Amino acid sequence: MTNYEKWHRAGRKGAPNGQCDAMALNDATLTETGLPASGQGRLLLIACGALAREILDLKAANGWHHMDLTCLPAKLHLYPEKITQAVRTAVAKHRDAYDKIFVVYADCGTGGLLKSACNDMGIEMVSGPHCYSFFEGNNRFAAQSESEITAFYLTDFLVRQFDAFVIKPMGLDQHPELRDMYFGNYDKLVYQAQTDDPALTRKAQRAADQLGLAFERRVTGYGDLETTLKQL
């Protein structure tokens, strides 16, 4: 059981900084509204809602009490053109309350605009093109990217939210016959496992079957996300 799961069951009582109650940390909330900051700590992480559980687990495991976390809605990944302005707004909202802000987004489809905005604001951010890369490790992902150009990636969060982020946005719930048009050029689904959860593995296998793809489970842990946050 991860630290998040313990907090989820316990509710607000005993959750670090009072931030991890069950209502705040369910996937639907993280997708639609994100996670508010607790107001405690001198360093604020502004992150994607899809990374909330991983970051909170890392905070607890390493005793990073100087860090606070706020997450923007994970659904912004369906509209990457909105991410940069959402991050700008979050920085402006919180800047006076913290000594430092760090953005836990990779480029995430912004075409370099997020990095440019962070440079303008004097804010650092995670390196990499997307979370698949930094979970795998940016150097390793880059080295194997050409040989895996036909791979479709899922993280723990995206396995749990497969319908919300893959099936429904593509209309496959209503028109499953479109599957091969969308996924005909892929040959495998790579599940990047941040945690060892047999239920998630089974769900990822079912997702691969649903898309007509071969299945590979790859244990990445937290990858460059962990090594980056350790330096803050």
Cβ pair 131, 155 in contact under 8 A: yes
Beta bridge partners of 72: 48
Q: What is the pLDDT of residue 8?
A: 36
Q: What is the pLDDT of residue 215?
A: 98
With left for phi above 0 and alpha for psi between -120 and 50, is residue 166 left, alpha or beta? alpha
Domain ranges in the chain are 3-126, 144-219
Q: What letter does residue 79 receive in the DSSP assignment?
A: S
Q: What is the pLDDT of residue 122?
A: 98
**Angstrom distance (rounded) from CA 163 to CA 197:** 19
Q: What is the pLDDT of residue 22?
A: 35
Q: What is the value of pTM for the model shown?
A: 0.89
**Residue-wise pLDDT tens for the chain (232 aa)?**
433 333 333 333 334 444 454 334 799 999 999 999 999 999 999 999 999 999 999 999 999 999 999 999 999 999 999 999 999 999 999 999 999 999 999 999 999 999 999 999 999 999 999 999 999 999 999 999 889 999 999 999 999 999 999 999 999 999 999 999 999 999 999 999 999 999 999 999 999 999 999 999 999 999 999 999 999 9
Q: What is the pLDDT of residue 25?
A: 78
Record: fold of 3-126:
Rossmann fold (3.40.50)
Q: Which residues of 132-162 are buried (b: 16+ CB within 10 A; e: fewer)?
A: bbbbbbbeebeeeeeebeebbbbbbbbbbbb
Q: 227: burial class by Cβ within 10 Å (0-12, 13-18, 19+)?
A: exposed
By residue count, the chain amounts to: 232
